[in-house]
Chains A and B, each alone.
Chain A
Amino acid sequence: GAGVSQSPRYKVAKRGQDVALRCDPISGHVSLFWYQQALGQGPEFLTYFQNEAQLDKSGLPSDRFFAERPEGSVSTLKIQRTQQEDSAVYLCASSFTVTSGGAKEQFFGPGTRLTVL
């Protein structure tokens, strides 16, 4: 079946512009994660949804970052008033379910490469 998809794949924004990044998880996957990957670094956690509930947003770097998943499937990561330091690849991942005793495999999307000029 189809994997995790993200759009757009590339986004160039002028400093101060707002951007919206979309993630379509694998159908039926309950959990959805957003990560930020700077060049040459590992992915860093931003936020986590279980269905439509945002259970952890501890990784969002500032109040300019906002994520939603209103119907428990598609998610949008919005960045307001973009800054140059926001330039990175934004990865979305989904997993089937959360069960007691441990995490499940996370399937990653191809990412959105954001460049802020």
Chain B
Amino acid sequence: GENVEQHPSTLSVQEGDSAVIKCTYSDSASNYFPWYKQELGKRPQLIIDIRSNVGEKKDQRIAVTLNKTAKHFSLHITETQPEDSAVYFCAASTPNTDKLIFGTGTRLQVFP
């Protein structure tokens, strides 16, 4: 079955700097890759997603890139702000099932 690995497990940046989180997946059939933000004690919330027919997607300060050949995808946050501090999860899904396989999460801390 699908396996998703995520790095780094923790990331500390200064406010205004960029943050990059990387994930790799094992199943070449996977075609949907969402990113969720989870604040302490709260529900995961979708921040951006990408499908396998697209190489890059951007939404304001957030962008995701996908390399199907290498089977990895990355989250890029520019001009980080303290309110970006949270745990970020990547996930992957294959066409024959909608279940999400999640990475282990990255704890992002943005220092003012």
A111 to chain B: which residues have CB within 8 Å?
A: 43
Residues of B86-101 contacting chain A, CB below 8 A: 89, 91, 93, 95, 97-101
Closest partner residue, chain A, to B43 (CB atom): A108
A111 to B31: give the CA distance in the assembly, Å. 27
Given contacts A42-B104, A102-B32, A103-B32, contact A108 B97 (CB under 8 A): no
Number of interface residues of B (CB under 8 A): 26
Q: Is there a chain B Cβ closer than 8 Å to A104's Cβ?
A: yes
Residues of A67-117 contacting chain B, CB below 8 A: 91, 95, 98, 100-111
Cβ–Cβ contact B97 & A42, under 8 A: no
Q: Is there a chain A Cβ closer than 8 Å to B61's Cβ?
A: no
Residues of B42-81 contacting chain A, CB below 8 A: 42-46, 49, 51-52
Interface size bracket, A side:
20 to 34
A74 to B23: give the CA distance in the assembly, Å. 33
A43 to B43: give the CA distance in the assembly, Å. 11
Cβ–Cβ contact B103 & A42, under 8 A: yes
Binding site for B on A (CB under 8 A): 4, 31, 33, 35, 40-45, 48, 55-56, 59, 91, 95, 98, 100-111
